[in-house]
Amino acid sequence: MGEPSLFDLILNGTVPSHKVAEGEHWYAFLDIFPRREGHTLVIPKQSVQRMLELTPQSRDALFDGVVQVQSVLSKHFNTQDFTVCVHDGPLAGQEIPHVHVHILPRHSGDGGGTLHSMWPLAEPHGGDVDHGQLAELSQRLQGVEQ
């Protein structure tokens, strides 16, 4: 493993953070460049870049942490709606090479969008649903060894 990531430095206390909640295997803190008030990051204490590299225990604990943070944010911001996002690897937009989950409280008219709005210039994949093409891809994916 190379140099510690920013999140490793947060976990070891070298870099300050603004804690929201914490569990044995995860830590949640406010994003320093929030897209919305309450924008929180939940990170595993296991230092890996991709979700596939997490142990089952770390992965399960991470998503338990996500739910706990949603509960805290829900009560504080009086909302039940959240955008929950993972950028899994640099080509997916991950800027810090450490698994992390973004949780953003949502409200009507908050200026946020849908997943499709993340690629406003991308051509849609056709107007009509091609069930034959989807069935073929589904079969190929089910044949991939796990």
What are the structural domains, with CATH classification, of the chain? 6-142 (3.30.428.10)
Q: Identify any residues that bridge with 41 across adjacent strands, giving them in sequence order.
A: 29, 102
Q: What is the pLDDT of residues 80-95, one digit of tens each?
A: 999 999 999 999 999 9
Residue 100: active-site member: yes
Tell me which of 25, 98, 100, 102 is the catalytic residue: 100
Residue 92: predicted pLDDT: 94
Q: Report residues of the chain scoring pLDDT below 50.
A: none
Residue 63: predicted pLDDT: 97
pTM of the complete model: 0.88
Residue 118: predicted pLDDT: 73
Core vs surface per residue 80-105: b (16+ CB within 10 A) or e: eebbeebeeeeeeebeebbbbbbbbb
